[in-house]
């Protein structure tokens, strides 16, 4: 399956993507994670992306589209993929449409995670991520690690993302409403959008998502 996951910052895209990708046996491709990996490795791409991310702005399309395309061309993505954080504006959605069309491929669904803004703010404020693997995501109250500051999965150190400050989160939400939400209408035009509530237990949201995707297969 080829799926796009969309939703505001902190909706739980990364959290859900980890479970959905496993259930569906497809790779989880997160442009945010790819940028963060480049930053921690000190690559040129990471240097270009960092200032935009720290300010809560989108990294320019010239950089982002090429990086996403390279990742989607890896052998493990031949059987499908779950895109998390890409596309993030209409130009990126159009670039993805063209990429898929050139390969004779199509998206199966765009899964839209709906969460009220006050909940998103609470989720981001308490989020802690593992230094070893950004798929290891915790929350100081909702999904507490057994030992404070330590990853339950691998023992790595947990940290708070630099762009999770209150001011940057406000900016990211504004960017989501103005630039990312329009892609939902773009994909509604293709009949691909399934919207689910992302409130409630993580496992309940996964079940809701799997149910919604089953209808799309
Ligand atoms: P990115 O990394 O994609 O961030 P985002 O979209 O803002 O999303 P988040 O990672 O903040 O949230 P999430 O929805 O994954 O939530 P999570 O599962 O962690 O992008 C970062 C930046 O990179 C952008 O601002 C931009 O600069 C750049 N970028 C990336 N892609 C780009 C693109 N295509 N073009 C241009 N620039 C790009 O969950 C959040 C918290 O809630 C966690 O603590 C979790 O434990 C908790 N939680 C999750 N589910 C639940 C639940 N059901 N109940 C209670 N708590 C929950
Ligand atoms: Zn870890």
ipTM (interface pTM): 0.96
Burial of 94 (0-12, 13-18, 19+ CB in 10 A): middle
Cα separation, 183 vs 95, whole angstroms: 12
**Rounded CA separation 164/95 (Å):** 29
The answer to whether residues 87 and 95 touch, using CB atoms and an 8 Å cutoff, is yes
Is 85 flagged in the annotation as binding? yes
Q: Which helix (H) or strand (E) holds 82?
A: strand 81-84
Average pLDDT over residues 12-22: 95
DSSP state of 28: E
Q: What is the pLDDT of residue 135?
A: 84
Bond into 87 cis (ω within 30): yes
Tell me the pLDDT tens digit for each residue of 51-77: 999 999 999 999 999 999 999 999 999
13 is in an annotated binding site: yes
Q: Residues 92-129: pLDDT tens digits?
A: 999 999 999 999 999 999 999 999 999 999 999 999 99
**pLDDT bucket at 150, cuts 50 / 70 / 90:** very high
Q: What is the pLDDT of residue 215?
A: 78
Q: What is the pLDDT of residue 70?
A: 96
Which pTM value belongs to this model?
A: 0.95
Span 2-115+165-214 CATH architecture: 3-Layer(aba) Sandwich (3.40)
Q: What pLDDT is recorded for position 166? A: 86
Residue 30, beta-bridge partner list = 84
**Ligand 1 pocket mutation, candidates 127, 170, 209, criterion most atoms within 8 A of CB:** 127
180 carries a ligand binding annotation: no
Residue from 121, 99, 108 nearest 11 by CA: 121
CA of 148 to the centre of ligand 2 (A): 13
Query: pLDDT confidence of 216, banded at 50, 70, 90?
Result: low
Q: Is the pLDDT of residue 34 over 60?
A: yes
Ligand 1: does its nearest atom lie under 6 Å from the Cβ of 10? Answer: yes
Q: Is 143 in the pocket of ligand 1 (CB under 6 A)?
A: yes
Among 6, 7, 9, name the best residue to mutate to test ligand 1's pocket (greatest count of ligand atoms within 8 A of Cβ): 9
Domain spans of the chain? 2-115+165-214
């Amino acid at each position: 399956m080829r799926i796009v996951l969309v939703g505001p910052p902190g909706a739980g895209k990364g959290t859900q993507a980890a479970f959905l990708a496993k259930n569906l046996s497809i790779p989880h491709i997160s442009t945010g994670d790819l940028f963060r990996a480049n930053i921690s490795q000190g690559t040129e791409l990471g240097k270009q992306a960092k200032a935009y991310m720290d300010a809560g702005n989108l990294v320019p399309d010239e950089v982002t589209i090429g990086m996403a395309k390279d990742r989607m061309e890896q052998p493990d993505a031949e059987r499908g993929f779950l895109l998390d954080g890409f596309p993030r504006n209409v130009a990126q959605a159009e670039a993805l449409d063209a990429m898929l069309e050139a390969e004779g491929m199509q998206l199966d669904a765009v899964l839209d995670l709906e969460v009220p803004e006050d909940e998103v703010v609470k989720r981001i404020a308490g989020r802690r991520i593992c230094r070893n693997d950004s798929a290891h995501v915790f929350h100081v109250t909702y999904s507490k690690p057994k030992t404070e500051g330590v990853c339950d999965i691998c023992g790595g150190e947990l940290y708070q993302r630099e762009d999770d400050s209150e001011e940057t989160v406000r900016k990211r939400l504004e960017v989501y409403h103005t630039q990312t939400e329009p892609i939902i209408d773009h994909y509604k035009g293709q009949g691909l959008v399934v919207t689910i509530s992302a409130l409630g237990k993580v496992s309940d949201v996964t079940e809701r998502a799997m149910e919604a995707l089953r209808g799309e297969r």
